[in-house]
Amino acid sequence: MLPTKSFPAGRSWVLTLLLWAGLVVQPVPAHNLAGHSGTDPGALPQEKNPTVVQKVQKQGDPVEFLLPTPDGSPLDAEQLRGKAVLLCFTAHGSPLMRLLLRQMNTIADNHPQVTLCLVLTNSTQPRDRDFISDADLKTWRDQLHLTYPVARDPRGTLLFQRLNLSVIPSFVLLRKDGTVAVKREGLDLTTNLAEQMRADLLRVVQPD
């Protein structure tokens, strides 16, 4: 973003002249970017886009996200409200992937009331070393018969970084209201993830 510069009040006529000449462009309010010029943005249907910059996550607030998936329909936090959700962040090609999936399957079997979501941080740009296409991702998912959603968070820019996570795999357990119950970074190879999180997994599915 280019730096902004203020003009002294006494030179307002200069700014007016430059604006008239087209040499200075007035900043466009963010709410105008969603609609057409001269149209009330609130009157236009707004389509959610997973590529938009997500809002800053504040502690104690419900986690908001809209993550792209290989199927095209985004994983929307709003649609998960009312459910306990375990977000599992990792990368396709990680040496811990096989172990992680086994442990996720154990959680899925033992805690069916918890919705699991696998979130991959691989790049979506072919020039990057960790790139994987949506087509290859769907093939991989189907071959493994994964029964839970698989979403994408390229380079962690949509959600991973907002949650202040720094390593993969990482796990974020959300309460039914969308707030964070537990965050765990890394995978302890000496114990089972389901056992480590058992008390928390049972707690978040309790009736409100």
- The number of beta carbons lying within 10 Å of the beta carbon of residue 168 is 21
Cβ(146)–Cβ(119) under 8 Å?
no
Answer yes or no: is 52 within a domain.
no
**CATH number for the domain including 184?**
3.40.30.10
The length of the chain, given as a count of residues: 208
Answer yes or no: is 28 within a domain.
no
> Residues 156-188: pLDDT tens digits?
999 999 999 999 999 999 999 999 999 999 998
Answer yes or no: is 95 within a domain.
yes
- pLDDT for residue 61: 87
- pLDDT for residue 121: 97
pTM, rounded to two decimals: 0.73
Q: What is the mean pLDDT of residues 48-71?
A: 72
Number of domains in the chain: 1
Torsion from C-alpha of 145, 88, 204, 50, nearest 10 degrees: -90
Answer yes or no: is 133 within a domain.
yes
Answer yes or no: is 6 within a domain.
no
Q: What angle do CA 55, 61, 64 make, to 5 degrees?
A: 40
Q: What is the mean pLDDT of residues 23-40?
A: 36
Domain that holds residue 151: 66-204
Q: Which residue has the tokens 């154990």?
A: 106
Order of strands, edge to edge, in the sheet holding 180-185?
150-152, 114-120, 84-90, 170-174, 180-185
Answer yes or no: is 109 within a domain.
yes
How many Å apart are CA 140 and CA 125, to the nearest integer? 18
Answer yes or no: is 118 within a domain.
yes
Q: What is the mean pLDDT of residues 7-19?
A: 40
Answer yes or no: is 156 within a domain.
yes
- pLDDT for residue 26: 39
Residue 190: pLDDT band with limits 50, 70, 90: confident
> Residues 126-155: pLDDT tens digits?
999 999 999 999 999 999 999 999 999 999
What is the overall mean pLDDT for the chain?
80
